[in-house]
Structure 1
Amino acid sequence: MTSGISLLDVDDLDFDFSPRAWNFEREFSVEIDAHWQKLLSSNPAQFDGCVLLMDTHQVVEEPGQKRVLRGTFLEAGYKSFSACRDLGWPDSSIRNCFAMAALKSEDGAFLLGEMSSGTSLPGRIQFPAGTPDLEDVRGSKVDLEASAFRELYEETTLSADDIVAAEGWTLVLDGPRIACMKPMRAKGTADEIVAKVTRGLAQQRDPELARLHIVRDHRDLDTARMPGFMLSYLRSAIPPTPEKRRVSV
């Protein structure tokens, strides 16, 4: 497992939308604007939309030994979030908590997407995911399972009809990042799913993904393009690759 990263299984997520002013946006306004102009100079397609960031959180044990991650989310601008992230996360009270579709085929392979050149993280390989936003708010609640399905469809064109979601979540805790992995089994073999998604991406005007990558064992891990929290999850979820036995001659 990557140093400083830990995994925790929970049965459920329970998040409230509790908006308040984010002090970082006021205290670092000059740095935020300068950082945003730098991002735009390298990628003019970036958009300063609304995102949700975790304000408070705790893992609680409920009756029946049910473990739940509870928390609250506030609303922030994407340019403020990106500055906080890239400046080393000066507000340590806030977390980037998001859902990922931990996609697996019927023949046991994991399926990861490679981010396209027009995104903020071109070339990165990871599960379909996105920072939650107001579309994920249901009344007073933040629904990260709905967020996982939304991002999966937007990035791969796979819908809920193509997927069987498992119970529970695996949290990958990586400093200010909490990746909430939702195990999902796609209907079909890895090759069939890749072919289907490739056809779907060809119909999109500006696809977020360039392609899907199949990960069957540890030899398929791309340590240069997969972030550390993804590598930690996959190394935990995939059995070690058997060493080839030497044959004496």
Structure 2
Amino acid sequence: MTQTVTITRVAEVKARFTPWDWPWAEQNQDKIEANWQRRLVKTPKMFNGRVLLLRDIEVTPELCRNTYFEVDYADMIGWMDLGHPDPGVANGFAMGALRGADGAFICGVMSGDTANGGRVYFPAGTPDRADMQPDGSVDLATSLTRELFEETGLSEADYHVEDEWIVVQRWPAVALMRMVTLPVSAEEGAKRIRATIAAQDDPELSDVRIVRGVEDIDPKTMPLFLQSFFRWSFDQR
């Protein structure tokens, strides 16, 4: 895969889990363990659970098909920190593009206790076992709303989720996004989220940031796929 950014409007997303033994992880356990221990020194609250990585994706305007496999979180972090040495794998996650009624977007600032401390992006998380269904499908729509609630306190009654998906591919990051719109301004939404963060015992976010236009894009803290999404989104207006 290349570093080219591809953004596609998609009517439907279908994701499935298929068991697979990841050769790269099997062959690099020493490096993965050393990296994990190094990470724990800085962020001791990290937990080595099981997550789903993307192995294959097919995208058309009608349908996006994803194939996931399961790995240790430490495997994924090692792969990321070592520069994504297996180019056939990606982190494919559902993400709600949260915005106010005024059209301004609201991003979260990740807490220093998380693996991505200080990074700025919409609430999201790598799919995990909670998203796996008995029929083998992976429920990305529920993953999206769950992450929104966990990080911001916003429930499905608080916003409108568009049916359409926006698939942003900048391998090895694949964001499967939906527009999520609050009935209040971005300022009001940010105020509410900040109150939620202040009341949480162990918040994933340290703050929020409002993005009204391209001038608010921060290359130092925002991942490249999100910078591309913002430029694309503002160009649509």
Q: Name the TM-score, length of structure 2 as normaliser.
A: 0.93
* 2:183 alignment partner, one of 169, 182, 187: 187
Q: Highest Rg: 1 or 2?
A: 1
Is 1:211 matched up with 2:207? yes
> 1:112 — aligned with what?
107
Of 225, 231, 236, the residue aligned with 1:235 is 231
Q: d(CA) in 2 for partners of 1:79 and 1:52? A: 12
Letter of the 1:135 counterpart: A
Q: Could you give the per-residue CA deviations for residues 98-156 of structure 1, whole angstroms, max 9, x where no partner exists? A: 01110111111111111111111111111111111011112211011111101000000
Percentage of identical aligned residues: 36
Please, what is the CA RMSD of the aligned residues? 1.6
Using the alignment, how far apart are the partners of 1:142 and 1:59 within structure 2?
Answer: 16
Amino acid at match of 2:81: D
Q: Does 1:24 align with 2:24?
A: yes
Does the CA-based 8 Å contact 1:217-1:240 persist in structure 2? no
Q: Distance in 1 between matches of 2:85 and 2:176?
A: 23
Distance in 2, matches of 1:52 and 1:43, equals 21
- 2:104 maps to amino acid: A
Shift in Å, 1:85: 1.4
CA contact (8 A) 1:170 1:182 kept: yes
Distance in 1 separating the partners of 2:145 and 2:16: 19
Distance 1:218 1:91 in 2: 32
Larger strand proportion of the pair = 1
Quote the Cα distance in structure 1 between the aligned partners of 2:57 and 2:6. 16
Question: What's 2:36 paired with?
Answer: 36
Aligned partner (choices 73, 80, 83) of residue 78 of structure 2: 83
Asked if 1 retains the 8 angstrom alpha-carbon contact of 2:43 and 2:112, the reply is no
Task: Structure 2: give runs of 5+ residues left out of the alignment.
Answer: none
Unaligned stretches of 5+ in structure 1?
Answer: 61-65, 242-249
Q: Say whether residues 1:15 and 2:15 are aligned partners.
A: yes
Q: CA deviation at 1:226?
A: 1.0
